[in-house]
Structure 1
Amino acid sequence: MTCTKVTLRKKAISKGRYSLFLDYYPAIRNPATMKMTRREYLGIYIYQNPKTTIEKEYNKEVLHKAEGIRAIRVQSLINEEFGFLDKHKQKANFLNFFYEVALSKDQKWMMVYAHFSIFVNGQCKFEDVTIDLCRSFRSYLLNAKQLKNKKLNVSNNSAASYFSTFRALLKIAYRDKYIPENINNYLEKIETEDTKIEYLTLEELKKLANTPCNIPVLKSASLFSCLTGLRISDVLKLDWNEIVLASDGEFCMRIRTEKTETETTLPLSKEALELCGKPGSGKVFEGLERSMVYQPLKKWIEQAGITKKITFHCFRHTFATLQIALGTDIYTVSKMLTHKHVSTTQIYADLVNSKKRESANKISLK
């Protein structure tokens, strides 16, 4: 086997500059086009006759970087990796890629796509996706206005969640070899701020269950979340073929969670199964729309006489806190919530402990 030699060369161009390129000998074949090639222009330039100290330092630094690229190419050839030849991927539309990926995910991905599209003014190729661009998008999210209410800023925790989603997209792009390196290695995540976790007490949950709702499927799905701890994304896509009979004769859910992409089997109580309605095919909560968990849910909560600021995600908190308060060990609750680490579940145990302290202080001999 002939080993290809890679040499850094220069070509004189306009304005007293040299264009740097790599010379491959013998020529190498592009696996995408099947064409043989000897030259790869790097798109970087140096001065032909540097006159000032700044120009000389510039030449020295650029030549050092070009030599680094040459060394990377030699390593790629040894490993028979020819991704650097596939230039058309760099010219491809990153926004189109983002949109296609977002379509297969949940609504949050579409919101992040909308923000990024605004940020880049509707135009972005893969070659534009640099560390600096991604860091600038991070700064944009920390100061961005909400899409639906231009008077309000995106909250810090929403910005953190959005940037985490964007970083997940970068990981996919790197995996599929649309970008040459894992940019995530150079990005700092946005730290979340501690927020008050709202949840329903058992009495409030019973009150809600006894309160009529104008949208029956919203009520069923909400109470189902309280009894199972499922996120809205998983409730929305829950299919009848995922509800199966377990070896103990009871029913369970075999699902792949949307957020963590975890394969799991979760037992279903008789009450939770009843909320699913008559068994059939397709979506379990047919007709449920994400838009229902905003204003319609808020209205139903108010009709139940509950003054807490309850969102659909609070039903997951409700499941966790009630389970721990009623004696279920934290390890089991962690598995039911499909948390990867028990430490994530610890916050609910802390909530229950604070409630125990409150109840202890209610009895006083003074």
Structure 2
Amino acid sequence: MNILLGAFIDYLANVKELSRNTLDSYKRDISQYISFLDERNIDDIRYTNKTTIITYLLYMQKNGKATSTISRNLASIRSFYQFLVNEKYIDRDPTINLESPKSEKKLPSVLTLNEVELLLTQPNEGNEKGIRDKAMLELLYATGIRVSELVSLNYCDLNLDMGYIKCKNSGTKERIIPIGSMARKAVERFIKECRFSLVRDESEQALFVNYHGTRLTRQGFWKIIKMYTQKAKIGKKITPHTLRHSFATHLLQNGADLRSVQEMLGHSDISTTQIYTQITKNKIKEVYNKTHPRA
């Protein structure tokens, strides 16, 4: 079955052109499913059926896996079987009409405007590291891009004269995102004062680099934001994605239309963006309850 998994991953990489992180996720999910089958002496994918898959989902649930994790695994397994049917490895798809477990959508944690301001003022702009970190934080909040997209930015993706960045999502779709004056100023200062002294190889394309002069990693940025969170003493758990959530919520609170926010975030489905409208509604209700004399 590992040969089939290899063929599936090759298809996702070469035909679907999925990102390395997405490929790794699919490979991990299907490998775990195959291990489950091996433990039950099922060595041929043709001997599996809907009951087999349901048993696996219940097995994951029994082992304390989150509903979201189980749903993602089922989505991976469904894609795997669809591939096998299309490539004539099997005759039927046992995942047809198999529903994903319903999960309660948790509203993402967001920062208030004051908390964002507090976080963005933490970098010490008296040195190169602080100037770089300030530019990254400002750009992240100004555009709502993912951390993976932030560290993947190349110098040529930036257009300061026109005030926008070119950003690619996990696939190959490119989107143009405007950047505000504060982020523009911070990034411009970083480029003029720091980037070219940090880059050791002139062929390096990355916009943001580490002290080795090479592209900053997601793990490296995680450490950076964790440090500034502790320094700011904000009483919330802040992850790199928190600024993305805050970006979307603050835009909607200030009158932005949902379609524009969807476009900037790079969501393929507007229902994904709609979760931020719930945060906005909750905020309005909170303000009403606190301020209306008959609330």
Using structure 1 for the length normalisation, give the TM-score.
0.57
2:240 corresponds to: 312
Per the TM alignment, residue 157 of structure 1 is displaced from its structure 2 partner at its CA by 1.9
**Quick one: structure 1 residues 343 and 289, their matched pair in 2 at CA, closer, same or farther if it must change by over 3 Å?**
same
Per the TM alignment, residue 168 of structure 1 is displaced from its structure 2 partner at its CA by 4.2
Task: Choose from 57, 68, 73 the match for 1:138.
Answer: 57
Per the TM alignment, residue 182 of structure 1 is displaced from its structure 2 partner at its CA by 5.5
CA contact (8 A) 1:218 1:292 kept: no
Per the TM alignment, residue 200 of structure 1 is displaced from its structure 2 partner at its CA by 1.0
Identity of aligned residues (%): 23
Task: Choose from 260, 268, 285 the match for 1:357.
Answer: 285
1-side partners of 2:93 and 2:79: how far apart?
11
2:147 is equivalent to residue 224 of structure 1: no
2-side partners of 1:294 and 1:310: how far apart?
10
CA contact (8 A) 1:119 1:140 kept: no
1:94 corresponds to: 4
Q: Where do 1:41-120 residues align within 5 Å?
A: 93-97=3-7, 101=12, 105-107=19-21, 109-120=23-34
Task: Choose from 275, 278, 284 the match for 2:207.
Answer: 284
Unaligned runs of 5+ in 2: 196-202, 210-214
CA contact (8 A) 2:120 2:138 kept: yes
Structure having greater relative contact order (Cα 8 Å, sep ≥ 6): 2
1:43 corresponds to: none
Unaligned runs of 5+ in 1: 1-90, 145-152
2:199 corresponds to: none
Q: Where do 1:1-366 residues align within 5 Å?
A: 93-97=3-7, 101=12, 105-107=19-21, 109-121=23-35, 128=45, 130-132=48-50, 134-144=53-63, 153-171=64-82, 184-212=95-123, 220-244=135-159, 250-258=162-170, 262-273=173-184, 274-275=186-187, 277-278=190-191, 282-286=205-209, 287-292=215-220, 294=222, 297-363=225-291
Larger CA Rg, structure 1 vs 2: 1
331-340 vs 219-228, which moves further: 219-228
Per the TM alignment, residue 113 of structure 1 is displaced from its structure 2 partner at its CA by 2.9
2-side partners of 1:157 and 1:254: how far apart?
31
| Number of equivalent positions | 264
Residue type of the alignment partner of 2:242:
C
**Quick one: structure 1 residues 302 and 155, their matched pair in 2 at CA, closer, same or farther if it must change by over 3 Å?**
farther
CA contact (8 A) 1:108 1:162 kept: no
Per the TM alignment, residue 193 of structure 1 is displaced from its structure 2 partner at its CA by 1.9
Any idea what SS the aligned residue of 1:121 has? helix
**Quick one: structure 1 residues 363 and 268, their matched pair in 2 at CA, closer, same or farther if it must change by over 3 Å?**
closer
Any idea what SS the aligned residue of 2:274 has? helix
**Quick one: structure 1 residues 111 and 244, their matched pair in 2 at CA, closer, same or farther if it must change by over 3 Å?**
same
130-139 vs 336-345, which moves further: 130-139
CA contact (8 A) 1:126 1:179 kept: no
CA contact (8 A) 2:70 2:101 kept: yes
1:13 corresponds to: none
CA contact (8 A) 2:74 2:100 kept: yes
2-side partners of 1:221 and 1:202: how far apart?
18
2-side partners of 1:174 and 1:252: how far apart?
44
Could you say which structure has the higher strand fraction? 1
Any idea what SS the aligned residue of 1:193 has? coil
Could you say which structure has the higher helix fraction? 2
1-side partners of 2:270 and 2:152: how far apart?
26
1:49 corresponds to: none
Any idea what SS the aligned residue of 1:142 has? helix
Per the TM alignment, residue 257 of structure 1 is displaced from its structure 2 partner at its CA by 1.7
CA offsets per residue over residues 78-113 of structure 1, 9 Å max, x none? xxxxxxxxxxxxx77134345655896344642553
**Quick one: structure 1 residues 296 and 268, their matched pair in 2 at CA, closer, same or farther if it must change by over 3 Å?**
closer
Per the TM alignment, residue 365 of structure 1 is displaced from its structure 2 partner at its CA by 5.4
Per the TM alignment, residue 199 of structure 1 is displaced from its structure 2 partner at its CA by 0.6
2-side partners of 1:252 and 1:169: how far apart?
38
CA contact (8 A) 2:252 2:258 kept: yes
Using structure 2 for the length normalisation, give the TM-score.
0.69
**Quick one: structure 1 residues 183 and 258, their matched pair in 2 at CA, closer, same or farther if it must change by over 3 Å?**
farther
